[in-house]
Amino acid sequence: MSETTNGVASRDVDVVIIGAGFSGISSLYRFRKLGLKSVVFEAGSDFGGVWYHNRYPGARVDSEWPYYQLNIPEVYTTYSFKERFPGHAEIRDYVAHVDKVLGLRKDVVFNAFVNDCSWDEGSARWTVKTKEGHVATGKYLILCTGLLHRRHYPEFPGLENYKGALHHSGFWPEDLSTKGKKVAIIGAGATAVQITQEIAKDASELTIFMRRPSFCLPMVQRNLSKEENRGLQLYYDTLFTQGRKSPAGFPSKRLTKSVLEATPEEREALFEDLWSRGGFQFLMGGYYDVSLNPESNKIVYEFWARKVRDKMRPGVKRDLMAPTVENMPYHFGTKRTPLEQDYYECIDQDNVDVVDMNVKKMKSFTEKGVTFEDGTEKEFDIVVLATGFDSFSGSVTNMGLKNKDGIDIKDIWKGGIKSYLGMSFESFPNCFMIYSPHAPTALSNGPTIIESQADMIISFISHLESAKVKSITPTSAAQEQWVEMVDQMSHLTLFPLTNSWWTGGNIPGKKVQMLTYVLGIDKYEAQCRAVLDKVEGFDIQYQDGRTEASTDKEIDGLTVKAAMAAA
């Protein structure tokens, strides 16, 4: 602490970190080991990030134990998880344990909502301010603001007239009871799936407003013993290391065989085996071309639809939730595939109704509920907005982050999100982002890609410090090449054919673009390290006044050809 501004302590540090979720924790831990002094600003009142805020009924991770945790031995050898897929309360208990073991809290300022980040060219330092009056200056700025943080509130006609209880899933009052109530859930994505499984059991009536169904997979949840936790801990480092060498962060291997090369009997046996294992194993352990070939994808969808339809009674709801293969609404696996425990059984209950918003169009909210264009009306005691988030960019574009010329990133990104290596941005010196666009983020286990990016950033900054670099910023040409490569690679797959939060297509007016690097964590990290080791694609200013301008020539490693050759 150096001085006081408006009665609040100001800090002068090496690194300013924004966000105290898994990304912020990973960054703080690593910068401490590097010997750099850091401060973390966190808008919430405690650690956890998305898990501090997400407390809706049924909220839990869909990455199975033991992979949804950080690879920090002093932490993982002293903590035992209770469930294969931990719930939100257990994740908060885990991060509290991380804090206790590592003593993180002394470097974190909670209840600190960042609203201004400005770069000073003369001193080559960032100044970060919060709404509450905190101020910090640092050479490096690390954005750990989360992938799914900024809540999306659609502009439904008349919503302001509704007098009942209205709650977004990302801001849930923990004392809210839905028992005996008439409840509406708007949305049918991963969050809505988890909420439905809880509320359907309590509400007198539950109405789900849906545009597209989610293709849910069986979770196969189970309890864990302390003995099971303890018995596997000696293998954690190996498991986590192998996870980093895999596409999705789990030490698994996809078959090198096409769906079309297998006989119907072989396919059926494999699909049944993967289905019974639960989690994402049905996605990760199958044939290599499911996301590449429409015909292969169709065969996988047909199996999925058959399994789900067997869980439900014949009727309109079954046809809406699991259409037959002739009516497949989008390619399997090209948007978020939630895990479910008894979702389809809950949907099938008599007290649950599903409104197809493509057919039964909403006209307006009223004081008591919703009117439809066909003249009918439904009344609700509680309306739940499971309408998702402004993914990838929402938190970054709402914190007053300005480039070296004073232009806010929300204006820079109006025409589309751009990044270099999925970790830095042109005209934002010494600024890096974790859990970010143009990385394998949406297709990865969260902690694995977070630690991959954190390690690369810390290694890069360590090199910059040794080389006595004052500031560094990606070139426009290098950034354009990275964005173009990510986009071109995606067009070799089926992913771009489905709009979702993976493409920004869930937010009206936002540019629809592929925001995920599709080759996986292993290829991503190898490609990034090859470029970072050579410090390619950056303009550099040294402490002695020397400058080093990167040329506008193409970087050999940042082409679709090079990426696909590596794959």
Q: What is the pLDDT of residues 214-273, one digit of tens each?
A: 999 999 999 999 999 999 999 999 999 999 999 999 998 889 999 999 999 999 999 999
* pLDDT of 83: 98
Q: What is the pLDDT of residue 57?
A: 95
Question: Which residue do the tokens 């797959």 mark?
Answer: 493
Beta carbons of 185 and 208 less than 8 angstroms apart: yes
Dihedral sign of CA atoms 241, 245, 248, 250 in order = negative
Collapsing DSSP to helix, strand or coil, 207 comes out as: strand
For 497, the 3-state DSSP assignment is helix
- Distance between CA atoms of residues 501 and 507, nearest Å: 8
- HEC string of 44-86? CCCCCCHHHHCCCCCCECCCCCCCCCCCCHHHHCCCCCCECCC
Share of residues in the chain with pLDDT > 90 (%): 87
Q: What is the pLDDT of residue 551?
A: 67
Dig out the tokens for 445 from the structure.
């286990």
Q: Tell me which residue of 483, 501, 465 sits closest to 146, measured CA to CA.
A: 501
Give pLDDT, residue 512: 86
Taking the CA of residue 169 as centre, how many other CA atoms within 13 Å lie in the half-sphere pointing to its CB? 29
Q: How crowded is residue 117: how many other Cβ atoms within 10 Å of its Cβ?
A: 24
Domains of the chain: 3-47+104-150+391-566 (3.50.50.60), 159-225+239-385 (3.50.50.60)
* Cβ–Cβ < 8 Å for 2, 12: yes
Judged by phi (left if over 0) then psi (alpha if -120 to 50, else beta), residue 245 lies in alpha
- Can you give the pLDDT at residue 2? 44
Side-chain half-sphere exposure of 44, counting CA atoms within 13 A:
19
Q: In the prediction, which pLDDT does 5 show?
A: 47
User: What pLDDT is attached to residue 496?
Assistant: 93
Residue spans of the chain under pLDDT 70: 1-9, 551-553, 564-567
Contacts of 520 (CB under 8 A, 6+ apart): 246, 247, 248, 440, 443, 444
pLDDT score of 302: 98
The first and second tokens of residue 139, run together, are 């050479």
Closest CA relative to residue 280, chosen from 234, 336, 233, 328: 336
